[in-house]
Amino acid sequence: MAAVEPVLRSGAALSRPHRWQLVRHAPLSDKLALGTLALITLLALLGPTIAPHDPLAAVGPAGHAPSWQYPLGTDEVGRDMFSRVLCGLQTTWLAAIAVIVAGVLIGGAIGLVAGATGGWIDTILMRITDVFLALPKLILALAFTAALGPGIEHAIIAIAIASWPGYARIARAETLTIRNSEYVAAIQLQGASTFRIIGSHILPLLTSSLIIRVTLDMAGIILTAAGLGFIGLGAQPPLPEWGAMISRGRSFILDQWWVATMPGFAIVIVSLGFCFLGDGLRDVLDPKHGERQ
Cis peptide bond N-terminal to 52, omega within 30: no
CATH topology classification for 26-50+79-292:
MetI-like fold (1.10.3720)
Chain Cα centroid distance, residue 223? 11
pLDDT at 23 over 70: no
> What pTM value is reported for the model?
0.79
Angle at 277 (CA atoms; ends 276, 282), nearest 5 degrees: 100
> How far apart are the C-alpha atoms of 242 and 146, rounded to whole Å?
20
What are the sequence ranges of the domains in the chain?
26-50+79-292
* H helical segments located in the chain: 5-12, 16-21, 28-50, 81-117, 119-133, 137-148, 152-179, 182-189, 194-197, 203-230, 242-249, 257-285, 287-292
Tens of pLDDT, residues 69-112: 899 999 888 999 999 999 999 888 888 889 999 999 999 899 98
pLDDT attached to residue 288: 53
Cβ–Cβ < 8 Å for 150, 234: yes
pLDDT attached to residue 15: 44
More confident residue, 194 or 149: 149
Confidence of residue 2 (pLDDT cuts 50, 70, 90): very low
